[in-house]
Amino acid sequence: MVIFVATREGFKELESVILTGEHAVWIGADVLSDKELESVRDAGVYVTNFLYVVDLNNKDVVDAALEDIALHHPDERVWLEWLP
């Protein structure tokens, strides 16, 4: 399973799950500071951070991000932060 986080609030909601290190995590730019990212990685979490902000209201951006994740994690379920 891959966790895809686009906002700081989304990260905070799933932080306890993320810090288990059981799941790959992809994070949008500016969700965490460089120091925070380093701390999460030091905790043993496999984190990939996008170099761009993932605007959840922009379908093209979300689709492109999901395509990138799928390239690295084929056939894995992706849990996407989403507010209807």
- Whole-number pLDDT of residue 41: 97
Q: Is the pTM of this model over 0.85?
A: yes
Helix (H, G, I), strand (E, B) or coil at 77: coil
The answer to whether the beta carbons of residues 40 and 19 sit under 8 Å apart is yes
Residue 8: name the closest of 51, 39, 42, 54 by CA: 54
- Whole-number pLDDT of residue 28: 96
- Whole-number pLDDT of residue 82: 84
pLDDT in tens, 38-73: 999 999 999 999 999 999 999 999 999 999 999 999
